[in-house]
Structure 1
């Protein structure tokens, strides 16, 4: 678990404590089937839906399930990965940490990139702008290494495929399209807001 990079909040997230709703039932079943039928170098998943619908819970449930099967896996928020790399620009110690993290992400059997596309930006009209060239280049190096080695990659995102192409470009997204199977959670409610309202 310490090597998996999962945050403390998600260590206890499992399929058993995921609240299944009509809008999330298919996604739940797809994720559970992925773990049950996992084979090395299989296609990953692309979990997409609105904020707070349970994508990260399901991703963490996959991670925790795979770890119990002794399958080397890790999970990282995409923006945190970029931040870790940037912190190493002027700090040798942090640069070593970033290099170790990136190398691990490139090589681990199953990589989960959470909140993919959170680096988004919008123009003055509210339209999506492509993610910066530095982020795209670093992400390409990671994705392409995993693509060439046929390693399983899972992403969670709030965006549909067309929006992801606008954000990251064809070079990255054509690979992700081939590497992952779409798992939609369309129509699912924002569970975090619902919990806050109950409290």
Structure 2
């Protein structure tokens, strides 16, 4: 009798923890699945907006924003630039400010790029950086910032036989970006090679419907 009783106790002890352990696993699994799958896009990354059609889901935007921002090449000096920190001091600055904000609002339904012109210190680069940041943050647009002199230097360096980069490797992200900012266009001596290279970049992007 003692042996039978002991065996029964062992069976009960073994059986009950297994049952509870299994329930715990099921509950944890249910919580994990529920928490990991987005309730809006159900893991697809997009959802249907009634007016805008398929758009990137918010669950993907946080990661997408970080990746886009890192790849954008916005210089550290301008990474904190925003529309909120830009303060127009003249009517023309106000017009440029309003136009840049409207560009972001209307994108991708915009037919042409932008060209900011003005003297040093009026905020051309500030507005350009703010525009890119809003496009990436609000609409997950692939953007790229390049100081024109640095881009031309990178292309020239690719001609060096010992260079690990080719011209196309340098230009590929320039051609692929949905929106490209070329800063300080007038700062480079306009040799025939500079003009031809910049024309090639801008025209290639234009015929592929990329905004510059």
- TM-score grouping bracket, smaller chain normalisation: 0.5 to 0.7
Work out the CA distance in 1 between the residues paired with 2:161 and 2:186. Answer: 27
Note if contact 2:143-2:177 (Cα within 8 Å) is conserved in structure 1: yes
Cα separation, partners in 2 of 1:32 and 1:143, compared to 1, 3 Å? same
Matches within 5 A, 1:1-199: 1-23=69-91, 24-39=93-108, 42-68=111-137, 69-96=139-166, 99-120=168-189, 131-153=190-212
Tell me how far apart the structure 2 counterparts of residues 22 and 51 of structure 1 sit (CA, whole Å).
14
| Shift >3 Å, 4+ stretches | 91-94
1:42 Cα deviation from its structure 2 partner = 2.9
Deviation of 1:102 (Å): 1.1
CA RMSD of aligned residues (A): 1.7
Quick check: 2:157–2:163 contact (8 Å CA) kept in 1? no
Q: TM-score, normalised by structure 1?
A: 0.66
Whole-Å Cα distance in 1 between the matches of residues 169 and 136 of structure 2? 20
Judge conservation of contact 2:72–2:144 (CA < 8 Å) in 1. Answer: yes
Secondary structure at 2:107 match in 1: coil
Number of residue pairs the alignment of both structures matches = 142
- Contiguous gaps of at least 5 residues in structure 1: 121-130, 154-199
1 CA distance for matches of 2:158 and 2:110?
Answer: 31
**TM-score normalized by the length of structure 2:** 0.62
* Higher helix content, 1 or 2: 2
Query: Hey, which of these two has a bigger chunk of strand by percent?
Result: 1
The structure having more radius of gyration, on CA atoms, is: 2
